[in-house]
Amino acid sequence: LGHGSGGVLTNKLLESGVFDLLKNPILDEHHDGAIFELDGKLAFSTDSYVISPVFFPGGNIGELAINGTVNDLAMCGAIPKYLSLSFILEEGLTMTEFWEILLSIKAAAEKSGIFIVTGDTKVVERGKGDKIFINTSGVGQLHPKAAISAKRVQVGDKVIVSGNIATHGIAIMSVREGLDFETSIESDTINLNHTVEALLDTFGNDIHLFRDPTRGGVATVLNEIARDTKLGINIQQKDIPVIEEVYGACELLGLDPLYVANEGVFMAIVSAEIADDCLKKLQTFENGQNAAIIGEVVSEHPRQVVLQSRIGGKRVINMLVGEQLPRIC
């Protein structure tokens, strides 16, 4: 793209490489759309990926676009099957960069086991985009044992996070802000579907809810759950896994890790009886080693999320209201 302009190159590019790299039997058909068979209940999800910088410590926009939709399907309790992939490229993105993104897409798709079955590429003039935008949509088959719904969340349920929080958001910010940490913080973007599938195999409908705390972080997800269930949630500051460097970066930037975006982390609300076993199981996975039970669902303070602070005292964790205006007088 560095040396091309306009649509001519686009088609050439398309034919000569982009989707070749990602080929599989369905994509090879070259239809206007993909044709496939799927039985039973399905989950369907879509997301667009816009991120600056496109390359960040621990990953790039490509794997983010695959993992994002794969994970959204997994959070529904589904096993991801097929994916569509569309690019909007801005003139000026180099072929090398694009190629690297494609390679990560390929790797991420293979790792999660999802098939890319249809796709599209458009190129826009310089200044009309931000290097590269990606849209993915995915279809998955509901896990036979899954019964994921906010309605099933009940008092006593435990809140589990699958790993260190805020790492991804800080990794992105560290590039954007030029933070030069001693040890570099890397994004933990990863597919969560295999882990989720294994948990569903074992614990079935004792798992009441999965959510991935992407934008708005853990705090936002918890607030949404509290709002939807009309129940309260208590969390313990001391139990929330945060890498020390990430914590330090948050301090520096005046941020609360609970509000920072995540990628390779999911949250599960599970029945109290299986919580410990579920945690143990989760910890056997590479992306679950730092998993922790951080709190529980309570009947007190409906619709509110309350953090028990490490030094005593409890703090109300609110939904972010627009821009964070200072409140201290």
Partner 1 sequence: MVYEIRIKGQVQGVGFRPFVYCLATEMQLSGYVNNTNEGVLIEIVASEKIKDFTESLLSKAPKLAKITELSTKQINRLPKYSEGFHIIKSQSGDKRNVLLSPDFGICEQCSNEIDNQKNHRFQYAFTTCTYCGPRYSIIKQLPYDREHTSMGVFEMCDDCRQEYQNVNDRRYFSQTNSCKKCGIKLTLFDNQKRQIADNDSAVIEQTIKAISEGKIVAVKGIGGYLLMCDATQPSTIETLRLRKHRPLKPFAVMYPSLVALEKQIEVRAEEREILTNEVAVIVLLSTNIQLSTAGLVGVMLPYTPLFQLICQKIDRPLIATSGNLSHSPIIYQDAKALDELSEIADFILVNNREIVVPQDDSVLRFTPKYNKKIVLRRSRGLAPTFILPSFFAQNNIIAMGAMLKSTFTITHENNVYVSQYLGDLEDFDSQENYKNTLSHLSNVLSFTPQTVLVDMHKAYSSTEMGRTIANEKQLKLAEIQHHKAHFAAVLAENNLLDSSEPILGVIWDGTGLGEDGQIWGGEFFSFRSNSIERVGHFEYFPNLMGDKMAREPRLSALAVCSSFFENLDFLKEKFSDLEWNIYQKHLKQAKMLQNSSVGRLFDAMASLLGIADKVSYEGEAAINIESIAQAYLNENGIPNEIYEIVILPQNTLSIQHLLQGVSNDLNQNVNIGKIALKFHLTMIESVNMIANKLNISKIAFSGGVWQNALLVDLVIERLSNFELYFHQQLSPNDECISFGQVAFFELINRNKS
Q: Is 329 in the site for Fe ion (CB under 5 A)?
A: yes
Q: What angle do CA 120, 28, 37 make, to 5 degrees?
A: 90
Asked if 166 and 186 touch (Cβ cutoff 8 Å), the reply is no
Site size toward Fe ion (CB under 5 A) is: 1
Q: Does 254 bind partner 1 (CB under 8 A)?
A: yes
Residue position matching structure tokens 């410590």? 57
Measured CA to CA, the distance from residue 225 to residue 217 in angstroms comes to 13
Q: Report if residue 6 touches partner 1, rule: CB under 8 A.
A: no
- If you ran DSSP here, which 8-state letter would residue 184 be given? P
327 makes contact with partner 1 (CB under 8 A): yes
Q: Is 72 in the site for Mg ion (CB under 5 A)?
A: yes
Please state the φ and ψ torsions of residue 208, each to the nearest 5 degrees. Answer: -95, -30
Q: With binding defined as CB under 8 A, does residue 177 bind partner 1?
A: yes
Question: For residue 57, is the peptide bond before it cis, meaning its omega torsion is within 30 degrees of 0?
Answer: no
Options 1-9, 45-53, 196-204, 304-312: segment touching Mg ion (CB under 5 A): 45-53
94 part of the interface to partner 1, by CB under 8 A:
no
Binding partner 1 (rule: CB under 8 A), the pick from 25, 33, 178, 286 is 178
**Which pair of structure tokens corresponds to residue 181?**
């940490």
Residues 6+ apart with CB under 8 A from 96: none
Binding mask 127-166 for partner 1 (x = CB under 8 A): ----------------------------------------
Q: What's 238's DSSP letter?
A: G
Q: Which is nearer to Fe ion, 3 or 327 (CB)?
A: 327
Q: Please check whether residue 264 is in contact with residue 163, taking contact to mean a CB–CB distance below 8 angstroms.
A: yes
The window from 129-137, 258-266, 278-286, 319-327 that contacts partner 1 (CB under 8 A) reads 319-327
Using the rule CB under 5 A, give the single segment among 8-16, 115-123, 177-185, 321-329 that binds Fe ion. Answer: 321-329
3-state secondary structure of 68: helix
Task: Kindly state whether residue 90 participates in binding Mg ion, applying the rule CB under 5 A.
Answer: no
The H or E element containing residue 144 is none
List contacts with partner 1 (CB under 8 A): 177-181, 252-254, 301, 304, 306, 309, 311-316, 318, 321-329
Q: State the residues that interact with Mg ion by CB under 5 A.
A: 47, 72
Residues found near Fe ion in the complex (CB under 5 A): 329
